[in-house]
Protein backbone atom coordinates (compact mmCIF):
# COMPACT_ATOMS: atom_id res chain seq x y z
CA UNK A 1 0.00 0.00 0.00
CA UNK A 2 2.70 2.50 0.86
CA UNK A 3 6.32 2.68 1.86
CA UNK A 4 7.11 1.04 5.18
CA UNK A 5 8.52 4.31 6.56
CA UNK A 6 5.16 5.92 5.90
CA UNK A 7 3.32 3.05 7.57
CA UNK A 8 5.54 3.28 10.64
CA UNK A 9 4.83 7.02 10.80
CA UNK A 10 1.08 6.49 10.50
CA UNK A 11 1.20 3.94 13.33
CA UNK A 12 3.05 6.38 15.55
CA UNK A 13 0.56 9.14 14.81
CA UNK A 14 -2.39 6.81 15.36
CA UNK A 15 -1.14 6.09 18.89
CA UNK A 16 -1.45 9.73 19.97
CA UNK A 17 -4.54 10.61 22.03
CA UNK A 18 -7.37 11.96 19.92
CA UNK A 19 -6.07 10.39 16.71
CA UNK A 20 -7.01 7.10 15.13
CA UNK A 21 -5.78 5.28 12.02
CA UNK A 22 -7.94 7.41 9.72
CA UNK A 23 -6.93 10.82 11.06
CA UNK A 24 -3.31 9.63 11.30
CA UNK A 25 -3.37 8.75 7.59
CA UNK A 26 -4.84 12.12 6.69
CA UNK A 27 -2.30 13.98 8.80
CA UNK A 28 0.64 12.01 7.38
CA UNK A 29 -0.55 12.51 3.78
CA UNK A 30 -0.83 16.25 4.41
CA UNK A 31 2.68 16.26 5.87
CA UNK A 32 4.17 14.38 2.90
CA UNK A 33 2.37 16.65 0.45
CA UNK A 34 3.85 19.69 2.16
CA UNK A 35 7.35 18.59 3.07
CA UNK A 36 8.88 22.04 3.24
CA UNK A 37 6.00 24.00 4.71
CA UNK A 38 4.73 21.39 7.19
CA UNK A 39 6.85 18.28 7.61
CA UNK A 40 10.31 19.76 8.19
CA UNK A 41 9.02 22.60 10.42
CA UNK A 42 7.14 19.98 12.50
CA UNK A 43 10.30 17.92 12.89
CA UNK A 44 12.16 21.04 13.99
CA UNK A 45 9.45 21.96 16.51
CA UNK A 46 9.39 18.41 17.91
CA UNK A 47 13.18 18.38 18.26
CA UNK A 48 13.16 21.75 20.02
CA UNK A 49 10.53 20.50 22.42
CA UNK A 50 12.32 17.19 23.01
CA UNK A 51 15.63 18.93 23.68
CA UNK A 52 14.45 21.92 25.66
CA UNK A 53 11.42 20.88 27.71
CA UNK A 54 12.00 20.33 31.39
CA UNK A 55 9.71 19.22 34.21
CA UNK A 56 9.51 21.89 36.91
CA UNK A 57 10.80 20.31 40.14
CA UNK A 58 8.57 22.59 42.19
CA UNK A 59 5.13 22.18 40.61
CA UNK A 60 5.51 19.51 37.90
CA UNK A 61 4.67 21.82 34.97
CA UNK A 62 6.44 21.46 31.61
CA UNK A 63 8.55 24.46 30.63
CA UNK A 64 11.88 25.45 29.13
CA UNK A 65 13.24 26.45 32.54
CA UNK A 66 13.22 24.80 35.96
CA UNK A 67 11.64 26.18 38.14
CA UNK A 68 9.02 27.04 35.53
CA UNK A 69 7.86 30.52 34.53
CA UNK A 70 4.90 30.32 36.89
CA UNK A 71 6.91 29.26 39.96
CA UNK A 72 9.53 31.87 39.06
CA UNK A 73 7.08 34.73 38.58
CA UNK A 74 7.31 37.18 41.52
CA UNK A 75 3.93 38.65 40.52
CA UNK A 76 2.06 35.42 41.26
CA UNK A 77 0.19 35.25 44.55
CA UNK A 78 2.23 32.83 46.66
CA UNK A 79 -0.44 32.55 49.32
CA UNK A 80 -2.66 30.51 46.99
CA UNK A 81 -1.78 26.99 45.89
CA UNK A 82 -3.93 25.17 43.36
CA UNK A 83 -3.69 21.38 43.27
CA UNK A 84 -4.35 19.86 39.83
CA UNK A 85 -4.04 16.37 38.43
CA UNK A 86 -1.92 17.12 35.39
CA UNK A 87 -0.28 19.66 33.14
CA UNK A 88 -3.38 19.78 30.90
CA UNK A 89 -5.47 21.02 33.86
CA UNK A 90 -2.83 23.60 34.76
CA UNK A 91 -2.85 24.88 31.17
CA UNK A 92 -6.66 25.01 31.18
CA UNK A 93 -6.65 27.19 34.31
CA UNK A 94 -3.90 29.39 32.86
CA UNK A 95 -5.87 29.85 29.63
CA UNK A 96 -8.89 31.02 31.61
CA UNK A 97 -6.65 33.61 33.27
CA UNK A 98 -8.73 33.37 36.45
CA UNK A 99 -6.02 32.13 38.79
CA UNK A 100 -2.91 34.05 39.76
CA UNK A 101 -1.49 31.78 42.44
CA UNK A 102 0.87 28.82 42.27
CA UNK A 103 0.23 25.22 41.26
CA UNK A 104 1.05 21.74 42.41
CA UNK A 105 0.57 18.79 40.05
CA UNK A 106 -0.26 15.45 41.69
CA UNK A 107 0.51 13.48 38.55
CA UNK A 108 -2.57 11.31 38.99
CA UNK A 109 -5.61 10.56 41.13
CA UNK A 110 -6.07 7.92 43.83
CA UNK A 111 -7.85 4.92 42.37
CA UNK A 112 -8.57 1.59 44.04
CA UNK A 113 -9.40 0.05 40.66
CA UNK A 114 -6.18 1.15 38.96
CA UNK A 115 -4.15 0.54 42.14
CA UNK A 116 -2.95 4.14 42.44
CA UNK A 117 -2.01 4.80 46.06
CA UNK A 118 -0.93 7.99 47.83
CA UNK A 119 2.74 7.07 47.44
CA UNK A 120 2.25 7.00 43.65
CA UNK A 121 1.28 10.67 43.61
CA UNK A 122 3.70 13.59 43.65
CA UNK A 123 3.09 14.65 47.26
CA UNK A 124 6.58 14.48 48.75
CA UNK A 125 7.39 18.14 48.65
CA UNK A 126 3.82 19.37 49.13
CA UNK A 127 3.89 19.99 52.93
CA UNK A 128 7.41 21.36 52.60
CA UNK A 129 6.26 23.74 49.88
CA UNK A 130 3.25 24.89 51.87
CA UNK A 131 5.42 25.83 54.84
CA UNK A 132 8.15 27.41 52.72
CA UNK A 133 5.93 29.45 50.47
CA UNK A 134 3.65 31.04 53.02
CA UNK A 135 0.56 29.42 51.49
CA UNK A 136 -2.69 30.31 53.25
CA UNK A 137 -5.18 28.51 51.01
CA UNK A 138 -4.99 25.29 49.03
CA UNK A 139 -7.57 24.95 46.26
CA UNK A 140 -8.38 21.43 45.07
CA UNK A 141 -9.02 21.76 41.33
CA UNK A 142 -9.54 18.06 40.73
CA UNK A 143 -12.04 16.31 38.46
CA UNK A 144 -15.58 15.91 39.75
CA UNK A 145 -15.22 12.14 39.49
CA UNK A 146 -15.02 9.48 42.20
CA UNK A 147 -11.23 9.41 41.88
CA UNK A 148 -10.93 13.20 41.88
CA UNK A 149 -13.05 13.59 44.98
CA UNK A 150 -11.34 10.71 46.79
CA UNK A 151 -8.01 12.38 46.11
CA UNK A 152 -9.34 15.77 47.24
CA UNK A 153 -10.54 14.30 50.52
CA UNK A 154 -7.30 12.43 51.06
CA UNK A 155 -5.32 15.62 50.46
CA UNK A 156 -7.57 17.63 52.76
CA UNK A 157 -6.79 15.11 55.52
CA UNK A 158 -3.12 15.11 54.55
CA UNK A 159 -3.07 18.90 55.07
CA UNK A 160 -4.97 18.71 58.36
CA UNK A 161 -1.87 19.33 60.44
CA UNK A 162 -0.96 22.48 58.52
CA UNK A 163 -2.80 25.71 59.20
CA UNK A 164 -3.88 26.29 55.57
CA UNK A 165 -7.47 26.67 54.51
CA UNK A 166 -8.53 23.94 52.06
CA UNK A 167 -11.18 24.61 49.41
CA UNK A 168 -12.54 22.97 46.27
CA UNK A 169 -14.00 24.18 42.98
CA UNK A 170 -17.72 25.03 43.09
CA UNK A 171 -20.10 22.52 41.53
CA UNK A 172 -23.19 23.40 39.56
CA UNK A 173 -24.51 24.24 36.13
CA UNK A 174 -21.74 25.08 33.64
CA UNK A 175 -21.89 28.49 31.96
CA UNK A 176 -24.13 28.22 28.91
CA UNK A 177 -25.55 24.93 30.19
CA UNK A 178 -29.18 24.20 29.34
CA UNK A 179 -31.09 22.40 32.08
CA UNK A 180 -32.62 20.04 29.58
CA UNK A 181 -29.23 18.64 28.59
CA UNK A 182 -27.65 18.36 32.04
CA UNK A 183 -27.25 15.03 33.80
CA UNK A 184 -29.15 14.29 37.01
CA UNK A 185 -26.03 14.48 39.18
CA UNK A 186 -25.19 18.01 38.07
CA UNK A 187 -28.78 19.15 38.47
CA UNK A 188 -29.01 17.65 41.96
CA UNK A 189 -25.74 19.29 43.02
CA UNK A 190 -26.78 22.63 41.54
CA UNK A 191 -30.10 22.51 43.39
CA UNK A 192 -28.56 21.47 46.70
CA UNK A 193 -25.90 24.18 46.47
CA UNK A 194 -28.38 26.90 45.44
CA UNK A 195 -27.45 30.41 46.49
CA UNK A 196 -29.37 33.64 47.10
CA UNK A 197 -29.56 35.93 44.08
CA UNK B 1 1.20 29.07 30.18
CA UNK B 2 3.94 26.94 28.69
CA UNK B 3 7.31 27.21 27.02
CA UNK B 4 7.22 28.93 23.66
CA UNK B 5 8.72 25.84 21.99
CA UNK B 6 5.76 23.85 23.25
CA UNK B 7 3.32 26.49 22.01
CA UNK B 8 4.94 26.47 18.56
CA UNK B 9 4.65 22.69 18.47
CA UNK B 10 0.98 22.78 19.50
CA UNK B 11 0.27 25.30 16.72
CA UNK B 12 1.95 23.08 14.15
CA UNK B 13 -0.04 20.05 15.30
CA UNK B 14 -3.28 22.01 15.35
CA UNK B 15 -2.82 22.85 11.67
CA UNK B 16 -2.90 19.18 10.61
CA UNK B 17 -6.19 17.93 9.15
CA UNK B 18 -8.40 16.29 11.76
CA UNK B 19 -6.71 18.02 14.68
CA UNK B 20 -7.70 21.19 16.46
CA UNK B 21 -6.13 23.18 19.28
CA UNK B 22 -7.56 20.85 21.93
CA UNK B 23 -6.44 17.56 20.39
CA UNK B 24 -3.08 19.14 19.48
CA UNK B 25 -2.53 20.05 23.15
CA UNK B 26 -3.43 16.53 24.25
CA UNK B 27 -1.13 14.97 21.68
CA UNK B 28 1.78 17.27 22.56
CA UNK B 29 1.36 16.66 26.30
CA UNK B 30 1.38 12.92 25.68
CA UNK B 31 4.54 13.30 23.59
CA UNK B 32 6.33 15.35 26.25
CA UNK B 33 5.30 12.92 28.97
CA UNK B 34 6.78 10.04 26.98
CA UNK B 35 9.89 11.53 25.43
CA UNK B 36 11.73 8.28 24.95
CA UNK B 37 8.88 6.00 24.02
CA UNK B 38 6.88 8.42 21.85
CA UNK B 39 8.52 11.77 21.08
CA UNK B 40 11.95 10.66 19.85
CA UNK B 41 10.60 7.69 17.86
CA UNK B 42 8.07 10.04 16.21
CA UNK B 43 10.85 12.47 15.24
CA UNK B 44 12.82 9.55 13.79
CA UNK B 45 9.81 8.30 11.81
CA UNK B 46 9.09 11.81 10.49
CA UNK B 47 12.71 12.25 9.42
CA UNK B 48 12.74 8.89 7.66
CA UNK B 49 9.57 9.81 5.81
CA UNK B 50 10.84 13.28 4.93
CA UNK B 51 14.12 11.90 3.63
CA UNK B 52 12.96 8.77 1.87
CA UNK B 53 9.50 9.42 0.45
CA UNK B 54 9.31 9.93 -3.29
CA UNK B 55 6.43 10.70 -5.61
CA UNK B 56 6.02 7.95 -8.21
CA UNK B 57 6.49 9.58 -11.63
CA UNK B 58 4.19 6.99 -13.21
CA UNK B 59 1.09 7.08 -11.02
CA UNK B 60 1.66 9.87 -8.46
CA UNK B 61 1.64 7.57 -5.39
CA UNK B 62 3.97 8.20 -2.42
CA UNK B 63 6.53 5.49 -1.87
CA UNK B 64 10.18 4.90 -1.02
CA UNK B 65 10.98 3.96 -4.61
CA UNK B 66 10.14 5.51 -7.98
CA UNK B 67 8.34 3.91 -9.83
CA UNK B 68 6.38 2.84 -6.75
CA UNK B 69 5.84 -0.71 -5.51
CA UNK B 70 2.47 -0.91 -7.28
CA UNK B 71 3.74 0.27 -10.70
CA UNK B 72 6.76 -2.03 -10.29
CA UNK B 73 4.79 -5.11 -9.31
CA UNK B 74 4.74 -7.60 -12.22
CA UNK B 75 1.80 -9.41 -10.59
CA UNK B 76 -0.54 -6.41 -10.99
CA UNK B 77 -2.99 -6.55 -13.87
CA UNK B 78 -1.68 -3.99 -16.36
CA UNK B 79 -4.83 -4.09 -18.46
CA UNK B 80 -6.77 -2.23 -15.75
CA UNK B 81 -6.11 1.40 -14.87
CA UNK B 82 -7.94 3.04 -11.98
CA UNK B 83 -8.11 6.84 -11.95
CA UNK B 84 -8.28 8.38 -8.47
CA UNK B 85 -8.11 11.92 -7.18
CA UNK B 86 -5.38 11.49 -4.58
CA UNK B 87 -3.09 9.20 -2.67
CA UNK B 88 -5.68 8.80 0.12
CA UNK B 89 -8.12 7.26 -2.37
CA UNK B 90 -5.43 4.96 -3.76
CA UNK B 91 -4.62 3.81 -0.22
CA UNK B 92 -8.34 3.26 0.49
CA UNK B 93 -8.67 0.99 -2.56
CA UNK B 94 -5.47 -0.85 -1.65
CA UNK B 95 -6.74 -1.43 1.89
CA UNK B 96 -9.91 -2.97 0.52
CA UNK B 97 -7.75 -5.35 -1.50
CA UNK B 98 -10.41 -5.42 -4.22
CA UNK B 99 -8.34 -3.97 -7.06
CA UNK B 100 -5.27 -5.57 -8.57
CA UNK B 101 -4.64 -3.24 -11.52
CA UNK B 102 -2.64 -0.04 -11.80
CA UNK B 103 -3.46 3.50 -10.72
CA UNK B 104 -3.28 7.02 -12.01
CA UNK B 105 -3.64 9.97 -9.62
CA UNK B 106 -5.13 13.15 -11.10
CA UNK B 107 -4.02 15.29 -8.18
CA UNK B 108 -7.35 17.08 -8.06
CA UNK B 109 -10.80 17.45 -9.58
CA UNK B 110 -12.04 19.94 -12.16
CA UNK B 111 -13.85 22.78 -10.44
CA UNK B 112 -15.23 25.95 -11.94
CA UNK B 113 -15.58 27.50 -8.48
CA UNK B 114 -11.99 26.81 -7.43
CA UNK B 115 -10.67 27.52 -10.93
CA UNK B 116 -9.16 24.08 -11.42
CA UNK B 117 -8.85 23.40 -15.17
CA UNK B 118 -7.77 20.28 -17.08
CA UNK B 119 -4.22 21.62 -17.39
CA UNK B 120 -3.99 21.76 -13.58
CA UNK B 121 -4.52 18.00 -13.34
CA UNK B 122 -1.85 15.37 -13.80
CA UNK B 123 -2.99 14.14 -17.23
CA UNK B 124 0.13 14.63 -19.34
CA UNK B 125 1.36 11.08 -19.37
CA UNK B 126 -2.09 9.48 -19.18
CA UNK B 127 -2.66 8.74 -22.90
CA UNK B 128 0.98 7.76 -23.24
CA UNK B 129 0.63 5.38 -20.32
CA UNK B 130 -2.57 3.85 -21.70
CA UNK B 131 -0.89 3.05 -25.02
CA UNK B 132 2.35 1.86 -23.46
CA UNK B 133 0.83 -0.36 -20.81
CA UNK B 134 -1.69 -2.24 -22.89
CA UNK B 135 -4.60 -0.91 -20.79
CA UNK B 136 -7.99 -2.22 -21.90
CA UNK B 137 -10.21 -0.64 -19.22
CA UNK B 138 -10.01 2.64 -17.36
CA UNK B 139 -12.06 2.79 -14.13
CA UNK B 140 -13.01 6.23 -12.84
CA UNK B 141 -12.91 5.93 -9.04
CA UNK B 142 -13.71 9.58 -8.38
CA UNK B 143 -15.93 11.13 -5.71
CA UNK B 144 -19.68 11.10 -6.32
CA UNK B 145 -19.69 14.89 -6.16
CA UNK B 146 -20.30 17.49 -8.85
CA UNK B 147 -16.54 17.97 -9.28
CA UNK B 148 -15.84 14.24 -9.30
CA UNK B 149 -18.45 13.54 -11.94
CA UNK B 150 -17.43 16.53 -14.08
CA UNK B 151 -13.87 15.23 -14.02
CA UNK B 152 -15.01 11.69 -14.85
CA UNK B 153 -16.96 12.93 -17.87
CA UNK B 154 -14.09 15.12 -19.02
CA UNK B 155 -11.70 12.18 -18.76
CA UNK B 156 -14.10 9.86 -20.59
CA UNK B 157 -14.15 12.37 -23.48
CA UNK B 158 -10.39 12.80 -23.19
CA UNK B 159 -10.02 9.02 -23.68
CA UNK B 160 -12.51 8.89 -26.54
CA UNK B 161 -9.81 8.55 -29.21
CA UNK B 162 -8.22 5.60 -27.46
CA UNK B 163 -9.75 2.15 -27.73
CA UNK B 164 -10.06 1.58 -23.97
CA UNK B 165 -13.33 0.85 -22.23
CA UNK B 166 -14.19 3.51 -19.67
CA UNK B 167 -16.21 2.63 -16.55
CA UNK B 168 -17.13 4.23 -13.23
CA UNK B 169 -17.82 2.96 -9.71
CA UNK B 170 -21.38 1.77 -9.11
CA UNK B 171 -23.67 4.07 -7.14
CA UNK B 172 -26.25 2.92 -4.62
CA UNK B 173 -26.79 2.07 -1.00
CA UNK B 174 -23.53 1.56 0.93
CA UNK B 175 -23.01 -1.79 2.64
CA UNK B 176 -24.67 -1.65 6.07
CA UNK B 177 -26.63 1.43 5.05
CA UNK B 178 -30.08 1.83 6.57
CA UNK B 179 -32.65 3.36 4.23
CA UNK B 180 -33.92 5.60 6.97
CA UNK B 181 -30.58 7.39 7.27
CA UNK B 182 -29.72 7.73 3.58
CA UNK B 183 -29.99 11.02 1.76
CA UNK B 184 -32.54 11.50 -1.03
CA UNK B 185 -29.88 11.56 -3.75
CA UNK B 186 -28.50 8.16 -2.82
CA UNK B 187 -31.98 6.66 -2.50
CA UNK B 188 -33.02 8.04 -5.90
CA UNK B 189 -29.86 6.72 -7.56
CA UNK B 190 -30.27 3.32 -5.89
CA UNK B 191 -33.86 3.07 -7.05
CA UNK B 192 -33.10 4.20 -10.60
CA UNK B 193 -30.18 1.77 -10.86
CA UNK B 194 -32.11 -1.16 -9.36
CA UNK B 195 -31.06 -4.60 -10.55
CA UNK B 196 -32.69 -8.01 -10.75
CA UNK B 197 -32.05 -10.25 -7.74
The CA distance from A46 to B5, in Å, is: 9
CA A66 vs CA B2, B59, B81, B118: distances in Å? 12, 52, 59, 57
pLDDT tens digit sequence for A182-193: 888 888 888 888
List, in order, residues 6 or more apart from A95 with CB less than 8 Å away.
B1
pLDDT tens digit sequence for A79-131: 999 999 999 999 999 999 889 999 999 999 999 999 999 999 988 888 888 88
Whether residue B3 and residue A94 make contact (CB cut-off 8 A), yes or no, is: no
Whether residue A19 and residue B15 make contact (CB cut-off 8 A), yes or no, is: no
Interface predicted TM-score (ipTM):
0.79
CA B163 vs CA A84, A157, B47, B150, B183: distances in Å? 70, 84, 45, 21, 37
The confidence score (pLDDT) of residue B191 equals 86
* Single pTM value for the model: 0.78
The confidence score (pLDDT) of residue A3 equals 64
Choosing among A22, A38, A43, which should be mutated to test the B contact, i.e. which has the most B CBs within 10 A? A43
CA B38 vs CA A25, A46, B45: distances in Å? 18, 11, 10
Whether residue B29 and residue A3 make contact (CB cut-off 8 A), yes or no, is: no
Instruction: Calculate how close chain A gets to B20, using CA atoms only, in Å.
Output: 10
List, in order, residues 6 or more apart from A16 with CB less than 8 Å away.
A24, B26, B27, B30, B31, B38
* Nearest residue in chain A measured CA to CA from B21: A18
The confidence score (pLDDT) of residue B165 equals 92
Phi, psi of A142 (to 5 degrees): -110, 160
The CA distance from A104 to A81, in Å, is: 7
Which of A90, A48, A47, A95 is CA-nearest to residue A68?
A90
The CA distance from B103 to B99, in Å, is: 10
Whether residue B94 and residue A1 make contact (CB cut-off 8 A), yes or no, is: yes
Yes or no: say if A147 and A183 are a contact pair by the CB < 8 Å rule. no
The CA distance from A84 to A135, in Å, is: 16
Can you tell me the mean pLDDT for A21-36? Answer: 93
The confidence score (pLDDT) of residue B3 equals 63
Sheet holding B102-105, edge to edge: B102-105, B80-84, B137-140, B165-168
- Chain A hits for B92, CB-CB cut-off 8 Å, are none
Per DSSP bridges, beta strands B62-63 and B54-55 are antiparallel
- Please check the confidence at residue A1 and state whether its pLDDT lies above 50: no
Q: Indicate the range of A36-50, A59-73, B179-193 predicted with least confidence.
A: B179-193
Yes or no: say if B3 and A62 are a contact pair by the CB < 8 Å rule. yes
By residue count, chain A amounts to 197
The confidence score (pLDDT) of residue B131 equals 83
Choosing among A8, A30, A41, A53, which should be mutated to test the B contact, i.e. which has the most B CBs within 10 A? A53
Can you tell me the mean pLDDT for A7-15? Answer: 93
Size of interface A-B (CB pairs under 8 A): 168
* Nearest residue in chain A measured CA to CA from B6: A49
- The total of other beta-carbon atoms located within 10 Å of residue B13's CB is 25
Whether residue A9 and residue B49 make contact (CB cut-off 8 A), yes or no, is: yes
Yes or no: say if A164 and A136 are a contact pair by the CB < 8 Å rule. yes
Choosing among A12, A18, A76, A84, which should be mutated to test the B contact, i.e. which has the most B CBs within 10 A? A18
Can you tell me the mean pLDDT for A164-174? Answer: 89
Q: Which residues of B106-132 are buried (b: 16+ CB within 10 A; e: fewer)?
A: bbbbbbeeeebeeeebebeebeebbee
Which DSSP category does A173 fall into? P
∠ CA B156-B106-A35 to the nearest 5 degrees? 175
- Within A37-184, strands assigned E span 54-55, 62-63, 80-84, 102-105, 137-140, 165-168
Q: Which of left, alpha, beta for B120 (phi over 0: left; psi -120 to 50: alpha)?
A: alpha
The CA distance from B190 to B194, in Å, is: 6
Q: Which of A46, A47, A94 is nearest residue B1 as measured by Cβ atoms?
A: A94
Q: Which of B6, B15, B46 is nearest residue A9 as measured by Cβ atoms?
A: B46
Q: Which of A1, A27, A87 is nearest residue B95 as measured by Cβ atoms?
A: A1
Choosing among B62, B95, B98, B100, which should be mutated to test the A contact, i.e. which has the most A CBs within 10 A? B62
pLDDT tens for chain B, 197 residues: list them: 456 889 999 999 999 998 999 999 999 999 999 999 999 999 999 999 999 999 999 999 999 998 999 999 999 998 999 999 999 999 999 999 889 999 999 999 999 999 999 999 998 888 888 888 889 999 999 998 999 999 999 999 988 888 899 999 888 888 888 888 888 888 888 888 888 78
Q: How many CA atoms lie within 13 A of A52 on its CB side?
A: 18
- Chain A hits for B19, CB-CB cut-off 8 Å, are 18-19, 23, 27
The CA distance from A147 to A189, in Å, is: 18
Q: Which of B5, B48, B95 is nearest residue A53 as measured by Cβ atoms?
A: B5
Yes or no: say if B70 and A11 are a contact pair by the CB < 8 Å rule. no
The two counts, helices (H) then strands (E), for chain A are 8, 6
Q: Which of A17, A27, A69 is nearest residue B16 as measured by Cβ atoms?
A: A27
The confidence score (pLDDT) of residue A6 equals 92
Amino acid sequence: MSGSDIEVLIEKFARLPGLGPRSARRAVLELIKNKNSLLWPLIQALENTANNTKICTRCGNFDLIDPCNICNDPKRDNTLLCIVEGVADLWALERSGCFKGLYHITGGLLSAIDGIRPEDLNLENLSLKINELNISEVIMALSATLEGQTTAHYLAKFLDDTSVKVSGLARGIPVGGELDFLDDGTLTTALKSRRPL
